[in-house]
Amino acid sequence: MVLVVISILKFLQVVIFVDVIASWLSPDPTTFPRRFTRMIVEPLYAPIYAILGRSQLGGLDFSPMIMLFLLNYIVGTLNGLG
C-alpha cells in the first residue's frame, strides 16, 4: 500500500515539473499540456495560495517549489516506513 502511495506522489511530482516547463514554453493555460496539468496541480496549490495568497513575487510563483518540497518530504517519510 505504501508503494502505491509513493508511486502516486512521484507521479504528481512529474506532473508539477511538466506544468512548470510547459508554463515557460506556453504561458497560455488553455493549451493542451497546460490544460491537463493545471487540472491536476491547481487543487494541490490551493492550500498554498490560501496561506500565501496568489500574489507573485516579481512574476514568480513559488507554489510549485513548495509543493515539490512537501511531496519529497512525504515520500521520504513513507520510504522510512516501508
* Cell numbers given for 40: 491536476
Q: What pLDDT score was predicted for residue 9?
A: 97
Quick check: 35 and 20 in contact, CB under 8 A? Answer: no
- Is the pTM higher than 0.85? The answer reads yes
Q: What is the mean pLDDT of residues 9-19?
A: 96
Q: Are 19 and 64 in contact (CB under 8 A)?
A: yes
Structural domain boundaries in the chain: 2-81
Q: What is the pLDDT, as a whole number, of residue 6?
A: 95
* pLDDT per residue as tens digits for the range 23-42: 999 888 888 889 999 999 99
Identify the pLDDT of residue 81.
Answer: 80
Instruction: Give dist(CA 71, CA 56) in Å, integer.
Output: 21
> What does the pLDDT average to over 53-75?
86
Whether 21 has a pLDDT exceeding 90, the answer reads: yes
Q: What is the mean pLDDT of the chain?
A: 90
